[in-house]
């Protein structure tokens, strides 16, 4: 939903459908970067009903039956389950790369290499789930971490490691220890796996979810497919794929990637992936600054933003809303989005 990037990212058009780090939108970038290894007929997009039309608008080359529409928001567990049920029914034995559309990747060629290596590893070790681990560049507290275990195999020259555990967003001290040890990678939440393996893990750990996915899979290709998905999907619980199958699974592996990767999750995080000026400022739009340091100013509205003698700020000006906050408070922008959802008077700003 991109709530920490309000007011640019809104409920009806979240961050994936904006050009946050270039001329193309993030979802267009996500498809373009895998074009060397994935033809149009190999690309599917999973999204909610609210975004169905904007996906078709921004990806006109996507075949109509390659849009997987989730009838309700049920978190990443059911979303992954649905895509694997549909794809396994259409292409038995298929390998799926499940990739978010809200990442910045500065080295797309290295990314494609890692995906091909993971796909080869999945053919050799089909019972494993493979996650793309990113070599950390700093002690970041906003990301999850993967602890590397012993080597599992080598695929296309890339070493594949067993996973010895996951840690979600450690404090600064632990993050520094993790980075210094060389044993940990950032968790990018991008995966490669056999669709059948994912479904078997749902059967083992969440048989109630699996039963629903089975009913959906059985309907694929029938005249009732969309009706069955609409009826059954809303019965699924709200659970992340990490909690549902990845954390309890006993066969999880990771590949270490140097991708110039960034999760554009907040306004403060933009400076992780976009260049700043000599004073540490990141400006987009019409910005005039005097004695300003370490400030991000985003002006898609076209109005002039004038800054005088400020430091460590985020300023975002859109046609109908203005955000001003300290950089170290940028994560709290999601609280604004939550408040907007809870109060009817603010409905038009959601």
Diameter of the chain by CA atoms? 65
> Quick one: pLDDT at residue 1?
76
Helix or strand holding residue 152 (H, E): strand 145-155
User: What's the gap between Cα 227 and its chain centre?
Assistant: 28
Alpha-carbon span 157 to 102, nearest angstrom: 28
Query: Could you tell me if residue 335 is inside a domain?
Result: yes
Same domain, 235 and 284: no
Point out the domain boundary residue: 234, 263, 292.
263
Query: Could you tell me if residue 251 is inside a domain?
Result: yes
Same domain, 36 and 183: yes
Cβ(299)–Cβ(285) under 8 Å?
yes
Same domain, 254 and 345: no
Same domain, 321 and 245: no
Cβ(300)–Cβ(8) under 8 Å?
yes
**CATH code of residue 228:** 3.90.550.10
Query: Could you tell me if residue 327 is inside a domain?
Result: yes
**Side-chain half-sphere CA neighbours of 135 within 13 A:** 10
Residue 281 vs residues 93, 276, 296, 329: alpha-carbon distances, Å: 49, 5, 6, 17
Residue 13 vs residues 16, 26, 255: alpha-carbon distances, Å: 8, 12, 33
Helices (H), 3-103: 26-33, 52-58, 76-90
Enumerate the β-bridge partners of residue 161: 151, 254
Dihedral Cα 157, 252, 44, 35, nearest 10 deg: -20
Same domain, 223 and 331: no
Query: Could you tell me if residue 283 is inside a domain?
Result: yes
Point out the domain boundary residue: 263, 280, 297.
263
Same domain, 194 and 255: yes
> Quick one: pLDDT at residue 347?
85
Point out the domain boundary residue: 214, 232, 263.
263
pTM for the predicted model, two decimal places? 0.89
Six token digits for residue 288:
């005039």
> Quick one: pLDDT at residue 96?
98
Task: Quote the domain boundaries for residue 291.
Answer: 268-349
Query: Could you tell me if residue 293 is inside a domain?
Result: yes
- pLDDT means per 10 residues, the chain with 350 residues, are 88 88 90 95 94 95 94 95 98 97 93 98 98 92 93 96 94 94 95 98 98 97 95 96 95 96 86 90 94 94 93 95 94 91 87
Enumerate the β-bridge partners of residue 311: 293
Total domains in the fold of the chain: 2
Query: Could you tell me if residue 17 is inside a domain?
Result: no
Same domain, 55 and 176: yes
Query: Could you tell me if residue 84 is inside a domain?
Result: yes
Alpha-carbon span 81 to 275, nearest angstrom: 38
Same domain, 206 and 331: no
Same domain, 251 and 279: no
Same domain, 175 and 126: yes
> Quick one: pLDDT at residue 341?
87
Query: Could you tell me if residue 3 is inside a domain?
Result: no
**Side-chain half-sphere CA neighbours of 84 within 13 A:** 30
SS3 122: helix
To the nearest 10 degrees (0 to 180), the angle between helices 225-233 and 76-90 is 160
Same domain, 98 and 161: yes
């Amino acid at each position: 939903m991109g709530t920490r990037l309000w007011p640019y990212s809104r409920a009806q058009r979240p961050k994936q459908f904006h050009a946050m780090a270039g001329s193309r939108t993030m979802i267009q970038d996500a498809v373009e970067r895998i074009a060397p290894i994935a033809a149009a007929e190999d690309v599917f997009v999973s999204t909610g009903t609210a975004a169905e039309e904007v996906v078709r608008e921004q990806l006109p080359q996507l075949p109509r039956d390659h849009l997987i529409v989730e009838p309700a928001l049920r978190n990443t567990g059911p979303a992954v389950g649905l895509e694997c049920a549909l794809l396994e029914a259409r292409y038995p034995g298929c390998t799926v790369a499940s990739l978010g559309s809200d990442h910045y990747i500065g080295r797309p060629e290295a990314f494609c290499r890692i995906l091909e290596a993971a796909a080869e590893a999945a053919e050799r070790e089909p019972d494993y789930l493979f996650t793309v681990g990113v070599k950390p560049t700093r002690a970041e507290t906003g990301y999850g971490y993967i602890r590397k275990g012993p080597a599992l195999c080598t695929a296309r020259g890339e070493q594949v490691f067993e996973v010895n555990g996951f840690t979600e967003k450690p404090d600064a001290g632990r993050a520094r220890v993790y980075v210094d040890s060389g044993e940990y990678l950032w968790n990018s939440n991008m995966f490669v796996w056999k669709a059948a393996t994912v479904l078997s893990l749902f059967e083992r750990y969440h048989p109630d979810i699996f039963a629903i996915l089975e009913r959906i899979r059985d309907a694929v290709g029938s005249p009732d497919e969309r009706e069955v998905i609409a009826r059954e999907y809303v019965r699924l619980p709200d659970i992340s794929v990490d909690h549902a199958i990845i954390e309890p699974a006993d066969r999880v592996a990771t590949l270490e990637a140097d991708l110039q990767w960034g999760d554009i999750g907040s306004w403060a995080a933009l400076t992780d992936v976009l260049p700043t000026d000599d004073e540490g400022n990141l400006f987009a739009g019409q910005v005039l600054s005097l004695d300003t340091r370490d400030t991000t100013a985003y002006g898609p509205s076209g109005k002039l933003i004038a800054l005088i003698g400020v430091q460590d700020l985020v300023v975002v000006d859109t046609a109908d809303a203005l955000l001003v906050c300290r950089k170290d408070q940028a994560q709290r922008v999601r609280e604004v989005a939550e408040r907007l959802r809870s109060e009817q008077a603010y409905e038009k700003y959601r």
